[in-house]
Amino acid sequence: MILSMNHTGFVVKDLEESLKFYRDVLGLKITIRRERTGKPIEQVVGYTCTHIKAAMLTIDENHYVELIQYLNPEPNTQMPTDRNILGASHLAFMVDDIEKEFKKLISNGAQKLNEPVSLTPERKACYLQDPDGNWVELIEDNS
């Protein structure tokens, strides 16, 4: 039986640069930072000689975002632009002012897919990519 949600993980090119985006721009708090090598992490991720740096961040401690930088093996730098690829993922944030947050993220390295649009009279949404190409959705709900 599944008990609860724990975290969403994104692979990033440079952990320190990504922390600037997720911590300093989005406002998430770092709860754990770690570096891992050895058999246990190799078994989890399925690569021999694995070496990663990671950070767990949260807003409310009900769900975490894990940012993982692979030092070994080196990450693939392909930038996925299609949202309909099987296995594609995104992380959605509820915001109080979508236009303000949208502009702030774009001015701090996010790539826009679309401007915020109204889905219903009370709800707006938009997709962006973080500086590493991971998809982020912003949602404003005034219902």
The pLDDT tens digits for 93-127 are: 999 999 999 999 999 999 988 899 999 999 999 99
**Banded pLDDT at 137 (limits 50, 70, 90):** very high
pLDDT tens-digit map of 43-97: 989 999 999 999 999 998 889 999 999 999 988 766 667 777 767 789 999 999 9
Q: Give me the residue spans of the domains in the chain.
A: 7-72, 90-141
The answer as to CATH 3.10.180.10 being correct for domain 90-141 is yes
Tell me the whole-structure pTM to 2 decimals.
Answer: 0.86
Give the list of residues 6+ apart from residue 127 with CB closer than 8 angstroms, or none.
83, 90, 112, 113, 114, 135, 136, 137
Q: Do the domains 90-141 and 7-72 match in fold?
A: yes
Q: What is the pLDDT of residue 74?
A: 86
Name 46's bridge partners.
none
Q: What is the pLDDT of residue 27?
A: 95
CATH-assigned architecture of domain 7-72: Roll (3.10)
Q: How does DSSP classify residue 66?
A: E
pLDDT tens-digit map of 9-22: 999 999 999 999 99
CA distances 110 to 21, 22, 49, 120, 131, Å, are 9, 11, 32, 25, 5
